[in-house]
Amino acid sequence: MSTSLDQENSKKEQDLVKMKRGALVLLGIAVVLFVLASYYKIGWLKAFSEAAMVGGIADWFAVVALFRHPLGIPIPHTALIPSNKDKIGENLGSFVSDEFLTREKLEVKIEQFNVAVKASDWLIEEKNANLVAGLVTDNAIPRILKTIDDEEVKHFIQEQFSAKLSKLNFGEWLALGLEALAKSKKQEELVTNVLKTLIVELENNKHLIEEKVKSSTPFLSFGLADKKITEGVFNGLYDFLEQASHQDSAIRKKINEYVLRFITELRHSSEMQQKVNELVLAFASKKEVQDYISGIWLEIKMAIDNDLAQKEESAIKKSIANMIQGFGKGIQADQLMMDKINDFIKNDVLSVLINNKKMIGDLISSTVKSWDTDEVAKKLELEIGGDLQFIRINGTLVGGFVGLLIYGFDCLLLYFI
């Protein structure tokens, strides 16, 4: 799959070929004109075409000599760029470090550029925010998820969950909750509902009482007493629950008193609180609970993967893009923050550049030295070769006109002499 850079280089190569072809065609025309002028004895045309050929060939030689040996012949002082690649790298590194990386010049440029404004303007643009968000969601997040060990994360979650639970006093929380419930009179409604539910369940499960009674009575009774015992047990339980469901009953008052004593004991008894805490921790340590807790990470990871798979419709990507735009707007709304950013760039970043300018120059130099000589020549010719072909074209035309001028001057001298 070709990238935009490959497409750009391909276009440059096509343009360079066209320019070379144009310069060559112009030189060919000069040769044809020279042949015609020589055959038909046209002096001025011969002078023009002869000088044009000399100028075109000379400039062709000069242009080619920059990048390679003309016609592959190792003529001295040709292939200048490949031969002097290392020296070019050293000079380029020194030039950048000595001429560009100076505090005076950089401070002026930084102040003129105003990094905070430019950066915040760039971040506010929706396409730029989406671009950054895309880099995060398409590259950063998937790579992070791949590098994370799922087992380590699950173990970490389990440990953190257990550690947090062990620090909590569930007994005190339960006491506070029950106390608030009692003060709000919701306790009465709760107890009433519980008792009514028990009555309903008792009616629905009367056959279980009968079966239990039957299994407990002597075999020799032939089931004669089962029905009476069942009715007695059922009626006794039913009457008890029915009376307890009325708020003004004595049974109900005893239940309320028991609840209040339990709340008081739970509130002030560290031993009772410890028992509640132990019950909660014992429940939390069960394998089923631990598996559920550790499975939270896998659910989160799956949810992230599913969301990122939606690409442009990803909620995570949209949230990151909105956050980036909000960050840019926040910077612009805070002049103090903008001043801090500019001061940071001007002082801290600039100091790092200045203190390491020799290293930067050496890096440029070593990088250029590491390049392949033919590749360097090709890249440079691709960038400036088109303009250099104009030198060949101009050399052909200017040479021809100079030859015509010399021919005219020579004719003038012959006329007067």
In tens, the pLDDT along 156-208 reads: 888 888 888 888 888 888 877 777 777 766 667 777 777 788 888 878 877 77
Domain C-terminal end among 269, 285, 301: 285
Q: Are 377 and 67 in contact (CB under 8 A)?
A: yes
Identify whether 46 is part of a domain: yes
How many structural domains compose the chain?
2
Domain C-terminal end among 254, 285, 316: 285
Q: Which range of residues forms the domain containing residue 17? A: 4-83+372-416
Mean pLDDT along residues 369-393 = 85
Residue 220 DSSP class: G
User: With 60 as the cut, is the pLDDT of residue 323 above it?
Assistant: yes
pLDDT digits (tens, 9 = 90+) for 110-128: 888 888 899 999 999 999 9
Mean pLDDT along residues 351-372 = 85
Identify whether 45 is part of a domain: yes
- Going by pLDDT thresholds of 50, 70 and 90, the confidence category of residue 218 is low
Type of residue numbered 11:
K
pLDDT of residue 217: 61
pLDDT of residue 414: 81
- Going by pLDDT thresholds of 50, 70 and 90, the confidence category of residue 224 is low
Entry pTM: 0.49
pLDDT of residue 31: 95
Identify whether 250 is part of a domain: yes
Co-location of 70 and 184 in the same domain: no
pLDDT of residue 188: 73
Residue 61 neighbours by CB under 8 Å, 6+ apart: 70
User: With 50 as the cut, is the pLDDT of residue 220 above it?
Assistant: no
CA 187 to chain centre: 53
User: With 90 as the cut, is the pLDDT of residue 61 above it?
Assistant: yes
- The structure tokens 């089931």 sit at 223
Q: Distance between CA 394 and CA 403 in Å, rounded? A: 14
Residue 129, Cβ neighbours under 10 Å: how many?
Answer: 23
Domain C-terminal end among 263, 285, 307: 285
pLDDT of residue 157: 84
Give the residue with greater pLDDT, 11 vs 235.
Answer: 11
**What backbone torsions phi and psi does residue 299 show, to the nearest 5 degrees?**
-65, -40
User: With 80 as the cut, is the pLDDT of residue 413 above it?
Assistant: yes
